[in-house]
Amino acid sequence: MKNNKTIYLCILILLSFSFYPVMSAAQPRIPRPPVTIPARQFSAILVAHGSANSNHNEKIITLKNNVRSAPTSNPSMSGLEVALLGNNSLARMDSALNYFHGRGARQILLIPLSPCSYIRHAEIKILANDKANGLGMPFQFTLAPAMDDHPVAAEIIKEQARNKSVNPQNESLLLFAYGPVEELENITWLRLLEQMGERIGKEVGFKEVECATVRNHSADLIAEQSIIDLRRKARALRENGRVIVVPYVFEDGPYTELQSYLSGIVPPEDIVSEGFISNAKTKDWVQDVITRGMRQPVVKEVNRHWSTEKGPKGNF
């Protein structure tokens, strides 16, 4: 009898195991939550031409650190580095690319620390691509516009002019910048400066506002003429009172070159000597660029072809 009971018990155990898959299959399956794919991350590089002045280069590094330590304006940004162009060992483009490649980055936003998108702007992306190809790194680059007439740039210029001003009703503003080599790009840049300068002049209450570019990388005759035009504008403003000169540049002064251009017309103490790199608001511009991520506005190309649709109508 005991043997029979043992046999029956074994048969029941075997039957229970044979029915388990059928029973488990009959149970309703709990759906798994959908797999969420995180937003595509990107890294960013602050690109500057660098300077023989090591203090200026260190201030660029400080700007990077201030941006990184601030609350993130775009959670998709995974890192921020600096690349100083030229023979500068402090921060090189290939060093930044190697660093991001080691972290698995594939998309890189290039942020030019430059006033104007029409001064050797496209060369930044070409250089980055050449460096990446030489290192065998398949990055996707997006080039952000330069500062141009961004509202932060206008705020900085307005702040600098106000700090230098004593009585704006008896003063004029001369907004100075370096200009592109090409004539059409220089015209475009001057128009942006003039529009920005006009708004600043009205808000501060200056008597007059003039804008001028010096094109010292152009042919000698063009460069000389740009200095003549700068002096002519400054002299005309000086006839009606004090002239405040605000240079739209990133590096701090004193700007001995600009002082020599305006020698005998505007005294050095009436020329602002602080560049954008020392202004706390510059960080806000960088943050605004980062907020847009890899979707940056495209810098509009200058139209080089005359069209009858845009020209005068009728006979002429």
The answer to whether 88 and 120 have CB atoms below 8 angstroms apart is no
Range of the domain at 49: 42-143
pLDDT, position 308: 55
Show the CA angle centred on residue 150, arms to residues 88 and 67, nearest 5°.
Answer: 50
- Look at residue 108 and tell me if it is in a domain: yes
What pLDDT is attached to residue 310? 55
**316 inside domain:** no
**pLDDT, position 91:** 87
Domain count, the chain: 2
Domain match, 198 and 130 both: no
Give the pLDDT confidence of 6-36 residue by residue, as tens digits. 544 444 444 444 434 433 344 444 444 433 3
At what angle are helices 282-292 and 151-164 packed, to 10 degrees? 180
Which pLDDT belongs to residue 181?
Answer: 95
Q: What is the pLDDT of residue 20?
A: 40
Q: Tell me whether residue 87 is in a domain.
A: yes
Q: Are residues 47 and 121 in the same domain?
A: yes
54 and 133 both lie in a single domain:
yes
Q: What is the pLDDT of residue 311?
A: 54
Domain C-terminal end among 121, 143, 165 = 143
Burial class of residue 8 (count of CB atoms within 10 Å of its CB; 0-12, 13-18, 19+): exposed
Residues 271 and 157 in one domain: yes
Quick one: pLDDT at residue 17? 40
Q: Same domain for 233 and 178?
A: yes
Indicate if 132 and 157 belong to the same structural domain. no
Q: 143, 174, 190 — which closes off a domain?
A: 143
Q: With respect to residue 20, please indicate whether it lies within any of the assigned structural domains.
A: no
d(CA 269, CA 92): 36
pLDDT of residue 87: 63
In a domain, 270, yes or no: yes
What pLDDT is recorded for position 243?
98
**CATH of residue 229:** 3.40.50.1400
* pLDDT < 70: residue spans in the chain: 1-40, 87-89, 306-316
Cα–Cα distance, 222 to 228 (Å, whole number)? 10
